[in-house]
Structure 1
């Protein structure tokens, strides 16, 4: 793409979209369209950008208006979708991008969106049009699938991966909506692990009061074998994967279990529960990966730890880095998950130099201890 590229950021004044807009405003010479339903908020975000390489324009776009969405997509060479809840939007924005000859990056998107795009030969349509759709270009899933790949590049053939992902963070209504909707086999399997090319249900138990380098205080880790973890296991040919969601507070997991049991759709209780945890424990987020290269090794061959104050800023880093990879011509046409096609070591190096997080590699260590 040329320097005259126009990048549209839908949901551009939200928690993730504003982080993407700030980064692209500084790092590209493209024109930015900061879009959403509330023109006033878009205007405020544009005013806050200050000086930078890119020109920025606020735009009012309502996802419920297909004509308005098409007009917006037609102005873009690349459309970055940061609107939510993503599990309700699904492929709506992506299909508008394809109709208007626009490349597409989704900070979320995940498997439900991929399934919708794949139906009826949809993947072939993107390749035939020479257009790119990149899904799951956020912190989780996305970066969580890239960092273990970088670790595997260092270690070599991996035999086992343990992953711990989470912390304490406020939830926006859109993010809470995605959390409520992230149930079912298209998202993952609670309590399951990966063993010798098979999903083993109810095979591992929660781990309480774990002390890990990625988190400033002990966390409770609940096994959830996500679809991203499955793709990673198959891609790296790992025999054993234990994938955990880590909670640094009590209120959010309690409310989440209740909301799921009641099949609740109102996000307010979940947003309030997350806010209570933040009030008690502060805001922090982490990802930690332990990778073994021998079945009989007591300690992992390498450990990668990431910690940050703001998970939305981390998703903004990932979505912007994905956008830059498209601009650089690094991605083939078609529909992809970002972690499957981005360059893991390049992303690791960029993140290591970025303010979004602190990231480090550790020497072999013993298993985390439970208190």
Structure 2
């Protein structure tokens, strides 16, 4: 079983390669960087996503191809098509905007798993795992973020997500449906499980809305949390601006907020008083953790043919257990009084 990783020396790629065992083929534009990452016995290949021939050559002979390259919004299904045409299974740490029916037609008995990252991905799987511990769940409050850096690719994808068809900034899920303008950004507030004061930005993604419908939740508040005011301000001003400039501003703001401080990233879910906290040094570690779990599931034949989101084909409880076993991830579960409505 050969697993190919494209974008192997980026923030997510490095963290993923560290978690994978067995035969690996690592690919990236800078062969010197790829070779630095490759352990003895690991194949290092120069590959450019914009070069169809080189990309096809990389995918040929792989049983599973994992795409860690970005930004996802510009790459589209380029890597997915090359992998499937080469007869490989495909895993994408992003790719939530891709056409599932088109990829299913190309799959020909192979599995394609999209949105196998921190968000989307863990952001739906972890609430589902928590829901299994709550009888008739009705309300979810999520605080996701911390003191995290933005790579340029991540910043571009984040800004692009604000312009998606399902994007609903300042919205909440109220009375079993989305309610736009229900919430406002909050600066310099104290939140449970976050060190010191932070800023929070309310946001209802398409994934969160699907989650609310699936779990039949009456109320959902979803807050992006930033341990630094510059990042929140850059994000608040990003909607409606040119994508490249907005991403550059977001990347710089996050870097300035993190100067001289220890980074961290966490997902905190409170479902009717049952609390789950998942924490790592950054969001890229969490994305890589789910990508590794997904890759193992695909390689073991536990994912059916066709194109799927990770949250639809992985077992939430099993994902949570693998996170517990990951040395770079800290998982805590608590029970306490439910959060009152309207309280951050």
* TM-score interval, normalised by the smaller of the two chains: over 0.9
Residue 261 of structure 1: how far off its partner (Å)? 3.9
* 2:100 maps to 1:100: no
In the other structure, the counterpart of 1:297 is none
Distance 1:270 1:223, change over 3 A: closer
Instruction: Give unpaired runs (5+ residues) of structure 1.
Output: 293-299
Distance (Å, rounded) in 1 between the aligned partners of 2:32 and 2:53: 21
Are 1:309 and 2:281 counterparts?
yes
- Verify: 1:232 aligned to 2:211, yes or no: yes
Structure 1 residue 281 displacement after superposition = 4.4
Q: Does 1:32 align with 2:24?
A: yes
Matched pairs, number: 342
1:9 is aligned to 2:5: yes
Q: How does 1:91-130 map to 2 (within 5 A)?
A: 91-110=77-96, 112-113=97-98, 117-118=99-100, 121-126=101-106, 129-130=108-109
**How far apart in 2 are the matches of 1:228 and 1:370?**
23
Match of 2:197 among 203, 210, 218: 218
Separation of aligned partners in 2, 1:8 and 1:22: 13
Q: Relative to 1, partners in 2 of residues 1:308 and 1:277: Cα closer, same or farther, differing over 3 Å?
A: same
Partner of 1:319: 291
Give the conservation status (yes or no) of the 8 Å contact 2:81–2:103.
no
Instruction: Judge which range, 157-166 or 177-186, deviates more.
Output: 177-186
Q: 1:267-297: CA deviations, max 9, x gaps?
A: 44332211101115431111111112xxxxx
1:57 Cα shift? 0.9
Is 2:112 the counterpart of 1:133? Answer: yes
Residue 43 of structure 2 aligns with which residue? 57
Distance 2:165 2:57 in 1: 32
Matches within 5 A, 1:229-308: 229-266=208-245, 267-279=247-259, 281-292=261-272, 300=273, 302-308=274-280
Normalised TM-score (structure 1): 0.87
Contact kept, 8 Å, 2:125 with 2:316, in 1: the verdict is yes
C-alpha distance 246-74 of structure 1, shift in aligned 2 (>3 A): same
TM-score by length of 2: 0.93
Q: Is the 8 A contact 2:16 2:291 kept in 1?
A: yes
Q: CA deviation at 1:131?
A: 1.2
Partner of 1:347: 319
Cα distance per residue 1:170-201 (max 9 Å; x no partner): 11121122122222243521011123442211
CA RMSD of aligned residues (A): 2.0
**Contact 1:197/1:239 (CA < 8 Å) preserved in 2?**
yes
> Which blocks of at least 5 consecutive residues in structure 2 are unaligned?
none
Matched, 1:147 2:123: no
Alpha-carbon separation, structure 1, partners of 2:166 and 2:150: 19
